[in-house]
Amino acid sequence: MDAPVLPPADKYINRELSLLEFNWRVLDQARDPAVPILERLRFLCISCTNLDEFFEIRVASLKQRLEIGAPAPGPDKMTPQQLLDEIRHRAIVLVGEQYKLLNENILPTLASEQIHFLQRADWSDEQKKWLADYFAEQVVPVLTPLTLDPSRPFPRILNKSLNFIVRLNGKDAFGRRRHRAIVQAPRSLPRVIKLPPKLSDTGREDHVFLSSVIHAHVDDLFPGLTLEGCYQFRATRNSNLYVDDEEVDDLVRALEGQLAASRYGAAVRLEITKECPDDLCDFLRDHFSLDQADVFHVDGPVNLNRLATVCDAGTRPDLCYPPFTPGVPAALKTDKTVFSVLKTKNILLHHPYQSFAPVTDFIAAAADDPDVLAIKQTLYRTGSNSPIVDHLVRAARAGKEITVVIELMARFDEAANISLANRLQEAGAHVVYGLVGYKTHAKMAMVVRREGKKVCRYVHLGTGNYHSGTTLVYTDYGYFSGSRKLGEDVHKIFMQLTSLTAAVDLDRVLTAPFSLFAELVRRIERETANALAGKDARIIAKINSLIEPQIIDVLYQASQAGVKIDLIVRGICSLRPGVAGLSENISIRSVVGRFLEHSRVYYFLNEGDEEFFCSSADWMDRNFFRRTETCFPIRQKPLKQRLKKDLELFLADNCQAWQLSGDGSYKRLTPGKDKPVSAQQTFLARLAAKS
């Protein structure tokens, strides 16, 4: 059957609108009464943080395209203005739902569990006194109230910071009439203040927003003037970093300059409390050079994501997900060294259900082993107190050859990565920065060990970052191997990253921006040819994003040929499934639950000789053509069977899965009369059964 001739807007779902849809799925977790209440609050905060980043990066880019008259940015051919208008419409509804959920559901539910967020009208006399002292002793010393006049223009407002615009009346100490002032809340101040137990009833937690405390006492900052109003606001700024790869000669210096500038990039959104009068709203909007469509009036604190500190306090574990202890494969529980284990057995870890400790221990063992000659590793995100970095530093100081490829352009982790690069260099490690224009997104570690007269390589390849913190909440696969051929491939890739020469004749690993895209297309087309020949054909992929139009087109062609295609796409998806004559053999679902689904797994039936790959790469333009990525095969039969069962479990999920329709909307699946199946809960249950 010939494919229907569809205009681009009908053939592809817009990536920005798809990303907003993902935030709705996250917010739905905050609605779910089956989720513990503090976790529901956390999901609300995550949806707000996601929306912040959406405006900082995606909306900021669209506004720049609009300013310079650039053409439509994606294959859907929506113009920047059309897209900004639609984003505004959808984001207003999303923000309204966030605050409605907070005020009408989450806060009352928390109150029923004796966790209260007190309004000023509810403060007792004792609480008022304590908060007045807190304001005088903790807040006032770090505040700098600024009245506005020609010699004191509007201050620089830090990206996403809490601020107040104040309306004043009267004359100052110099006899001049004052009308407006700005009060900036430093980021050193906690946004949520927990009151001492002595000020609350037994068993009750009382919290107060910093904004309420400042609001209650702001008139103390302007003695002699009459306060007529105080209103909180927050500006979101363009946080994109721009480094010209044709001009830059020192990436670190260029990036440090961009980081400082990005805190005060062009404003793209203004959030302001709904009580703020129109004239003050217009004053702020004019200052930030924003349109009315860029203003969001909110019914509560302008920085909801700061409520996450309450979730992290640890005072009410009964209102959080039950804890669990990640498992460790039996092969790694013996007295054998990890290197002797990998001589005979490859190991596949599934985080967070299986511990990340073996990865950390792998680097630690290499650092301490006198027979280890060298360690090579890529680092994209690691965290501020990374034990892996500690082990690499120790190994370098012990005289081992340590090479670390650090991606400085890892979004929002740039400053941390510059710091750890300096630390490693000071210890004597060879530090190589990711190539400008091609982020190093691959997750690889290699240990070179002398064993008798031979030099052997042991590798770890992963779908996620070397970050011990995120491995507790992100699902990823990590693969250990002592395979000679795999070790040679990883060695060649590291040589390419350091010398920038070609990595030729790779035996196992597919890489971007070189072989991965072409080999992926070849395998999809092979399934298509098999289907056309009357053979069974099947593709399953679990990825985070799918937007690359050429990949989408070959998947459409495969569907038309009769290939059964099941895609598990957590976030952005531009492919329209279920369209007659185009994609009726494609099914797409998103799984959103306790853990962030982050693993990438590709499966091809291949006439029964099934192929499985794990990868660091999503199916996006940037991953195929502008990043260094790795895609590695899982070839051992027990591991292949395990991966297949994992994929089938995600496809059977009817509790935390959402089905994508051809119109771009998602519907949450429910068990109905069927047996409830939750992939994440099943993995946790399996872990509990083994413990």
Active site amino acids: 441
Evaluate the omega torsion of the peptide bond into residue 352 and state whether it is cis, within 30 degrees of 0.
Answer: yes
Q: Which two tokens stand for residue 379?
A: 């680092």
Between CA 436 and CA 65, with CA 617 as vertex, the angle to 5 degrees is: 55
Closest CA to 477 of 460, 464, 490: 464
Q: Which residues pair with 357 in a beta bridge?
A: none
70-100 burial, b for 16+ CB within 10 Å, e for fewer?
A: eebbbbbebebeebbeebbebbeebbebbbe
117-126 — which CB contacts under 8 Å span 24+ positions?
117/192, 117/207, 117/208, 117/209, 118/195, 118/206, 118/207, 118/208, 118/212, 119/212, 120/212, 120/215, 120/216, 123/208, 124/199, 126/199
527 neighbors 537 (Cβ within 8 angstroms): yes
350: CB partners within 8 A, 6+ apart? 475, 476, 477, 599, 646, 683
Phi, psi of 273 (to 5 degrees): -60, 145
φ/ψ of 399, rounded to 5, equals 95, 5
Q: What whole-number distance in Å separates Cα of residue 291 and Cα of residue 84?
A: 12
* 3-state secondary structure labels for all residues of 84-119: HHHHHHHHHHHHHHHHHHHHHHHHHHHHHCCEEECC
CA–CA separation, 97 and 24 (whole Å): 9
Identify which of 480, 365, 502, 443 has the alpha carbon closest to the alpha carbon of residue 630. 443
Tell me the helix, strand and coil percentages in the chain, rounded to 5: 40, 25, 35
Structure tokens of 370? 């006198």
| CB-CB contact of 583 with 575 (8 Å) | yes
- How many whole angstroms separate alpha carbon 200 and alpha carbon 480? 53
Looking up tokens 């900036």 gives 184
The answer for residues whose C-beta is within 8 angstroms of residue 383's C-beta and 6 or more apart is 416, 467, 468, 469, 470
- CA 261 – CA 238 distance, rounded (Å): 10
Which residues fall within 8 angstroms of residue 537, CB to CB, at 6 or more apart? 527, 528, 530, 531, 558, 561, 562, 563, 564, 605
- Decide: 142 and 153 in contact? Cβ < 8 Å: no
Amino acid identity of 359?
V
DSSP 640-682: HHHHHHHHHHHHH--SSEEEEPTTS-EEE---TTSPP--HHHH
Task: Write out the two tokens for 668.
Answer: 């949450």
Residue type, 184: Q
